[in-house]
Structure 1
Amino acid sequence: MKSECILLGFMAYDRYVAICNPLRYNVVMSIPICVRMIAVAWVTSCVISSFDIVFLHRLTFCGPNVIDHFFCEAPSLMQLSSCGDISTEYIVLFVSSSLLVLFPLSLILFSYCQIVICLVRIQSGRLKSFSTCLSHLIVLTLFFGAVIFMYMRPKRPVKDTTDKIVSVLYTTVTPS
C-alpha cells in the first residue's frame, strides 16, 4: 500500500507533464528521473514500513492466533493483540498512514487541478486528454478511498467483514 500511494502520485505528475507540457515531456520525464521516482517510492515505503514493524513487534499476542482477514496487514495484526494497550500502535499506524496517503493525494489533486486548468485553455484534444485521465481517476478514487477507510481510522471495530472487502478492493481490484 505504501509504495503504491507514492507511485500513483508520480503517475499523476506524469499525466500533468504529458498534458500540460507535451513538448518538454522527454526532458522532464527522462529515464533517470523515472528511476529516481521509483527509488524514492521504494525507499520511503521501506522506511515507513520499518517503523510499523518495530511498533508491531512490541505487541503481545494472546488468545486466538488466526487472523480473520484475507491479508496479513498491520490493522488485522493489531486486532489479534488483545493482551496489552495498543493505543500507541494505533497512533503510529494512523500518523504514518496519514502522511503516506495525504502527501501523494495532495500532489495528485494539485496535478489534476493544473490539468483541468490547462484543458480549459486549449481548444483541441480536450476529449482525448480527459479520456486518458479518466481511467487513472477511477483507480485513484477506488484505491485512495479504500486506503483511507482502512488505515486512517483511529479505532477499529473488533470484528468487521467490511475491512476484508475493502482490503480486497485496494490490493486486488485497483492494480488489475
Structure 2
Amino acid sequence: MGESECILLVFMAYDRFVAICNPLRYSLVMNRWTYIWMITVTWTVSCVTSSVDIFLVYRLTFCRSNIINHFICEIPSLLHLSCSDISVLNSLRLSGGVILLLLPFTVIIFSYFKIIIAIIRIQSGRYKAFSTCFSHLIVVTLYYGTAMVLYLRPRLSRADNTDKLISVFYTIITPLLNPLIYSLRNKEVLRAMRRLGRKL
C-alpha cells in the first residue's frame, strides 16, 4: 500500500502539472484511459515489488525470538529477527527505496518547479492555482519525508523506538490528516474551523 501511495502521489502531481501548465489540453490529456493506465501502473508496480520483497524474506532463516519489536509487520522489522546474512537484502532494499522513494519524489519536485514557474507567469488567479497545489505538497512532504527517513537510512543492528515513531507517523497520522489537509480548500470547512477557533 505504501508503494502504491508513492506512485499515486506522483500521478496527482502530474494531474496538477497538466491542470496549471496546460489547462486548455487538460481534458484531452487527463481522460478515462489515462486514469485507467495510471491505476494499472500503480497496482502492477506495487504488486511486483511487494512480491519480490515477500520472496526475499521467505528465503531468510529465523532462529531468534518471534516477537517483532514494532507496531506493524514491516520488512525492516522482520530483518532484525533473521539469523541469515541480510547484507544483500539490505542493499536491495536501499536500492528499491531509491527507486520507489527518491525517483518519484524527484519527479514531484520537478513538476512543482514547473508549476511554480507557470504560476509566476500568470497575471490573475495565482492564489487559486497555488491553493490547488498546497494541500498536495503538504501530504507529499509528510509522507515522503517520514518514509525516506525510515527506508533510506543505514540499517541499525536492531529495531529502535525511532522506527516505531516514524512508522506510526506515515502509516497512521498522515492518512488521518489527509482528509483534513485536502478539505482545507473547502470554504465550509474553513468557516467551521474559524468558528471552532473562536470558541476555543
Equivalence map 1:31-70=2 (5 Å): 31-70=32-71
C-alpha root-mean-square deviation of aligned residues, in Å? Answer: 1.2
Match of 1:140 in 2: 140
Distance 1:160 1:129 in 2: 42
- Check if 1:150 corresponds to 2:150: yes
36-45 or 98-107: bigger deviation = 98-107
- Displacement of 1:123 in angstroms is 1.2
Distance 1:24 1:124 in 2: 19
Q: Deviations over 1:108-153 (max 9, x none)?
A: 0111011001001001111111122111111111100111111112
Tell me the secondary structure at the aligned position of residue 175 of structure 2. coil
Q: Deviations over 1:30-60 (max 9, x none)?
A: 0110110111011011111121111111111
Match of 1:168 in 2: 168
Q: Percent identity?
A: 54
Distance 1:94 1:67 in 2: 21
Work out the number of aligned pairs and report it.
175
Match of 1:30 in 2: 31
User: Residues 142 and 170 of structure 2 are in contact (CA less than 8 Å); yes or no, is this contact kept in structure 1?
Assistant: yes
- Check if 1:100 corresponds to 2:107: no
Distance 1:108 1:52 in 2: 25
Q: Which amino acid aligns with 2:32?
A: I
User: Residues 15 and 133 of structure 1 are in contact (CA less than 8 Å); yes or no, is this contact kept in structure 2?
Assistant: yes
- Displacement of 1:97 in angstroms is 1.6
Match of 1:71 in 2: 72
- Displacement of 1:154 in angstroms is 2.9
Structure 1 runs not aligned, ≥5 long: none
TM-score in terms of structure 2 length:
0.84
Question: Which of these two proteins has the greater Rg computed from alpha carbons?
Answer: 2
Distance 2:34 2:174 in 1: 25
Match of 2:187 in 1: none
TM-score in terms of structure 1 length:
0.94
Distance 1:149 1:157 in 2: 16
List structure 1 segments (4+ residues) > 3 angstroms apart after TM superposition: none
Q: Which amino acid aligns with 1:117?
A: I
